[in-house]
Structure 1
Amino acid sequence: MTQRFTGRAALVTGAGSGIGRAVARALAAEGANVVVAGRRRGPLDETVALIEEAGGKALAVTADVSRAADVEAAVAAAVDRFGSLDVAVNNAGVLDGRGPVADVDEDAWRRLIDINVTGVFLALRAEVRRMRTQPGGGAIVNIASRIGVHSRLPGTTGYAVSKAAVSVLTRGAALDHIADGVRINAVSPGPTETAMSLRPGETEAQRAERMRSEVPLGRTSTLDEVAAAVLYLASDDAASVVGADLVVDGGATA
């Protein structure tokens, strides 16, 4: 295992499970001090425990990314505890408002926009404001989706709109802030081994069978595979990568 992030402080939102937890653990395994943020304290404490059991350092901060004060407090916590904010991964998101556009509930639509779009904007804003004051700047990776600018699926238009916005926000912010020393990129996962990729009532075994015909690779991406893509973009290995949207979907949108 390399140690690309030794001495660096990282913030991961939505780190209580799934991709967020996998990214937080991977960053810690490569030497980062990690602040894990999310709305529920219990899962965050579990992530911290997993990191600490493996010899890493982590801090749990309860935060709702749709609230500016919460995101700013999470950034401040990273700086207060670890002295800087060098890496940020904006992963918090929801898959809500399923169904045809005409049948989408207004509250579900607002929830998608509040968390998936406004939440990323507020996080980006707070992170960049800190990183651009640091001599070494920083790196930010937003988690978008292959559902969005890359492809659409029936019954997920609201989600697609929100994730397409993340892709565009990433590219725009990357151009705005590379001169500040802040590199901003995105990863767009396809079907991954999380509950979000399960259809209502579907088992993991049924999903695996479906993936054999729906995805050229023949399976879902693992959490470690998605985390590896995130860490590449956040690392110095990607020093000249700016405004990229790296699709990790087993060839589904090839």
Structure 2
Amino acid sequence: MNKVAIVTGAGSGIGRATAIALLQAGWQVALAGRREDALLASVQEAGDAGSRTLAVSTDVRDPASVKALFDKTRDTFGRLDLLFNNAGTGTPPVPLEDLTVEQWKNTVDINLTGAFLCTQEAFRLMKAQTPRGGRIINNGSISAHAPRPFTAPYTATKHAITGLTKATSLDGRAYDIACGQIDIGNAATDMTERMAQGILQPRGDMMVEPRMDVRHVADAIVQMASLPLEANVQFMTIMATKMPYIGRG
């Protein structure tokens, strides 16, 4: 029986690459995201493997929308073996005091509350199914360790994801639910395109930063997901080798 995954933020970037990599590895995948057209483009890019997908327009900020995603996945595939909490957003690179409360709340709602709501539904499904259990992988980002300038909301939520990962790992232990986190730096996606043109550094200047092929990230997630439940990658950092992370600032 093919294993079943849910990937949030699957309409582009890391989410799309991961969904396709899981499909290529034989998984059945529910792709979740706010834009149905983007999800269908991901399915189309998967080629013949797209026949093992379910595309569900989902707003992770909305508990009812999240519940509908998990219900549809269960009804279609019968179970859930993997949740990749990947949906995320940021704010414009402006001084902290110029950010609006609405921008802060939107980032928290998508990056943190969305991951929590999906984790709740995954627990409910994974506890009840037979065989019991499953795996949750959270996209933490290198910002879970070190911020970029003018990214207070994003950085705060990614630090919080580390706490959620640890709490999920602990609370899932008795139910065969494993939880790990992948912290990703400078994967080549539309979101990081500006890095190829030059991005603000902590010392105030602009610098072009190296990026890595997003497929390396997707392959790493598939490796984490493919472990038996008796083993878990608790934290992984994958990054462009020459990006200015170690010694940043």
Normalising by structure 2, report the TM-score: 0.88
Structure 1 residue 157: deviation in Å?
1.6
Match of 2:189 in 1: 194
Query: Does 1:59 pair with 2:50?
Result: no
CA contact (8 A) 2:19 2:31 kept: yes
What letter corresponds to residue 240 of structure 1 in structure 2?
Answer: A
CA contact (8 A) 1:20 1:91 kept: yes
Structure 1 residue 234: deviation in Å?
1.4
Counterpart selection for 1:246 from 236, 243, 246: 236
Cα shift readout 1:172-222 (whole Å, capped 9, x = no counterpart)? 1111112111111111111111122233xx7x4x359x9xx979xx73121
What letter corresponds to residue 94 of structure 2 in structure 1?
Answer: G
What letter corresponds to residue 147 of structure 1 in structure 2?
Answer: S
SS in 1 for 2:37: helix
Where in structure 1 are there 5+ consecutive unaligned residues? 1-5
Counterpart selection for 1:115 from 110, 115, 137: 110
Match of 1:82 in 2: 77
Query: Does 1:145 pair with 2:141?
Result: yes
Alignment identity in percent?
Answer: 35
What letter corresponds to residue 100 of structure 2 in structure 1?
Answer: D
Counterpart selection for 2:23 from 28, 34, 50: 28
Cα shift readout 1:22-66 (whole Å, capped 9, x = no counterpart)? 000001101111110100110111112222434651110010001
Query: Does 1:230 pair with 2:221?
Result: yes
SS in 2 for 1:147: helix
CA contact (8 A) 2:89 2:107 kept: yes
Counterpart selection for 2:121 from 106, 115, 126: 126
What letter corresponds to residue 250 of structure 1 in structure 2?
Answer: A
Match of 2:67 in 1: 72
Match of 1:92 in 2: 87
SS in 1 for 2:6: strand
CA contact (8 A) 1:97 1:109 kept: no
SS in 2 for 1:132: helix
Match of 1:3 in 2: none
Cα shift readout 1:116-161 (whole Å, capped 9, x = no counterpart)? 010000011101110112224101111111013x111211121100
CA contact (8 A) 1:94 1:115 kept: yes
Distance 1:51 1:173 in 2: 31
SS in 2 for 1:96: coil
Normalising by structure 1, report the TM-score: 0.86
Q: How many corresponding residue pairs?
A: 238
Distance 1:161 1:103 in 2: 17
**Which shows bigger deviation, 48-57 or 79-88?**
48-57
What letter corresponds to residue 181 of structure 2 in structure 1?
Answer: A
What letter corresponds to residue 145 of structure 1 in structure 2?
Answer: S
**Which shows bigger deviation, 113-122 or 139-148?**
139-148
